[in-house]
Structure 1
Amino acid sequence: MKEIQVVAAIIENNGKILATQRGYGDYKGFYEFPGGKIEANESKEEALVREIQEELNVVIEVGEHLICVEYDYPAFHLKMDCFFSKIVQGNIQLLEHLDAKWLSKQQYDTVPWLEADIEIIELLKRR
């Protein structure tokens, strides 16, 4: 099975996290933490800054590593490193997503999350 290695940002602001709704592909309409694939000669942190710039047109500061989630989707094995992050420059523009929501802990379960992201949500609920 093909392995895909990605990074994801858990962007926090005023006690809420940013959930973005996929705008394409097999999982269109599901919510996820924004991020993407790591390119050659790029650190995980550099990849995350680049991906968030490309997807949301903001600059983030990458903080603490929370978890590495591994999940088997039907077509591939996902390995996703998740980092707490905060926006340090710009206002969010949805360049690849259909929607974005700032969710409080009480609202985490109000959107349909991608399967791999559910483990992160469960971990955040316990914080």
Structure 2
Amino acid sequence: MNTINVVAAVIKHKDKIFATQRGYGEFKGGWEFPGGKVESGEEPEAALIREIQEELNTEIKVHDMIGTIEYDYPTFHLRMSCYWCSVVSGQLELLEHEAARWLGRDELYSVSWLPADWQVLGEIEGEM
């Protein structure tokens, strides 16, 4: 099974985290933490900064790693490294996503998360 390495930004502001709804592809409509694929030879933190700039036209600061999720989708294995992040500059413009929401701790489970993203919610909830 092909392994895809991705990074995900858990962007936190005060007591809320930023969630996005996919606007394209096989998982269109599912909710996720923004991010994307790590290019060959690229450091995960650099990939995350690049991906958020491309997807949301926003500069972020990458903080501590939350953890790495290993998840088997039907056609590929996903290795997703999740990081706490904060906005440095920009307005989190939706360039590729359908929708976005700031979610408080009591709202974390109010959206239909993609299966891999669902795996990290317990860790996030414990840190909010």
Q: Map 1:1-127 to 2 at 5 A.
A: 1-127=1-127
Aligned length, in residue pairs: 127
Q: Aligned equivalents of 2:86 and 2:36: distance in 1?
A: 17
> Could you tell me the TM-score, scaled by structure 2's length?
0.97
> Could you tell me the TM-score, scaled by structure 1's length?
0.98
Q: Aligned equivalents of 1:91 and 1:46: distance in 2?
A: 20
Q: Aligned equivalents of 1:62 and 1:19: distance in 2?
A: 16
Instruction: Report the AA paired with residue 121 of structure 1.
Output: L
Instruction: Report the AA paired with residue 55 of structure 2.
Output: E
Q: CA deviation at 1:26?
A: 1.3
Instruction: Give unpaired runs (5+ residues) of structure 2.
Output: none
Q: Aligned equivalents of 1:4 and 1:107: distance in 2?
A: 29
Runs of 4+ in 1 over 4 A off after TM superposition: none
Q: Aligned equivalents of 1:103 and 1:73: distance in 2?
A: 26
* Aligned-pair identity (%): 50
> Which range is displaced more, 99-108 or 34-43?
34-43
Q: CA deviation at 1:125?
A: 1.9
Q: CA deviation at 1:123?
A: 1.6
How big is the alpha-carbon RMSD for the aligned residues of Structure 1 and Structure 2?
0.7
Q: CA deviation at 1:126?
A: 2.4
Instruction: Report the AA paired with residue 54 of structure 2.
Output: E
Q: CA deviation at 1:6?
A: 0.4
Q: Aligned equivalents of 1:92 and 1:80: distance in 2?
A: 21
Instruction: Give unpaired runs (5+ residues) of structure 1.
Output: none
Q: CA deviation at 1:42?
A: 1.1
Q: Aligned equivalents of 2:51 and 2:117: distance in 1?
A: 17
